[in-house]
Structure 1
Amino acid sequence: MGELIKVTVKNDQQLVSARDLYKGVQVTTRFSKWVEQNFKDFIEGEDFTSVTGVTDMPNGGTRPIQDYALTISMAKELSMMSHTEQGKKYRKYFIELERKWNNPMEIVKRGYSILQNENTKLKLENSEMKPKALFADAVSTSNTSILVGELAKLIKQNGYDIGQQRLFKWLRNNGYLIAGNRSDRNMPTQKSLELGLFEIKERSFQNPDGSVRITKTPKVTGKGQQYFINKFLAKKEA
């Protein structure tokens, strides 16, 4: 996959420049207006941060300009919201970036690199446990929360056969997600939130008629990923 846009990594999170994305998706609105119209649906400090970029001057010098560092998740949504052919292309590119970033082996590599940089030695009792322990440590260092479906894939890739629907059912039956025919079905229970296993991602969108629509999505934290993977690995070995 060739590089469509420059991606940087900070605090174990992939980021792209808002100005680079703005140029790439080829919207006709000026940059400041594009930001004003689209950024209101996102959270500063979580989805994006304000940064200072530079632009080239005709005399060969540079001058500072306002820019923003965007998460891949936000960049993907902005690409879709652009309603351009290039926007579709960038959205597919970001989906592939996320898929590779959340690949278990990539998580292991990042986690191992973090541990090495901190001069932390992994104390593992035997070679059979090494991949599992390394994976668990790598996940626990991740700042990225994932969807329940993505957790199901991680668990399956680590040897326990389970799909998204079966995992949702197991989480409800075991008191981690709310069960029953309720409006908050599949939302984290108070126990899950207090343990730090889940977080709720809340977004507000303005409908064409002017009303506001709020969506809530349960996401599994790094701590939750480690917790549930360990639980299913233990079930496999029992």
Structure 2
Amino acid sequence: MTELIPILQTQFNGAEINSVNARDLHAVLESKYQFADWIKTRLDEVDAIENIDYIIVSEKSETMSEAGRKASIKKEYILTIDIAKEIAMLERNEVGKKVRRYFIEFEKRAKKPLNQLDFLQMQLNVMRQHDERITAIEDKHRKDERRFRNLENTAKRDEELKEYTTAVGFGILKGISLDKKQCQRLGTKASKLSREAGVLIVTIPDQKHGKVGTYRHDILEKAFNALNFNIEIGV
């Protein structure tokens, strides 16, 4: 059989299995996409799990330029034959089909009769890989759930912060002009009321003062009424 793509022997979780370098697969598939973008997209599309369906090997390389020698780290993705077959089919063209058939034919030729011990070992490897895959999928789901909860909390917090403003901003919203001393008194009172009510005080950066506190609008309204400023609203 004419070699279409080099088949490697790689250690995956203590077992030596047939594998391919993703760069070789990318080249033989004649993909028009940049390798780094292509491999990340394809691995995501086939739900590949690192250390089960593929491993990443970092290789240090050096290049010469006018500025001198430059070191860089290149990531090599080593794929199992099974995941490489799935990626090949995603190309949805004749080249992808040809590569997939090549992998299938290689596996047929590589198969040999197993004695009972080898068969049992193979079964154990399959069971272990299955358990590892289930664990990896569950871990991924937990991470996705945490990420989703964080997004929900961030959205909720952003919505709540719409109700917050500074003492100066509160005066503008009410159409009144507060001087510096009145703003300080309003902020101090709002801080006290917020702490008493267990309401969050949010500090934001300010060009003039470095940092200023923002308070919930209803807290500022309560503080403003309590201070009884002699100000006409709308002036």
Taking structure 2 as the reference length, the TM-score comes to: 0.45
Structure with the largest fraction of helix: 2
Taking structure 1 as the reference length, the TM-score comes to: 0.44
Bigger Rg over Cα = 2
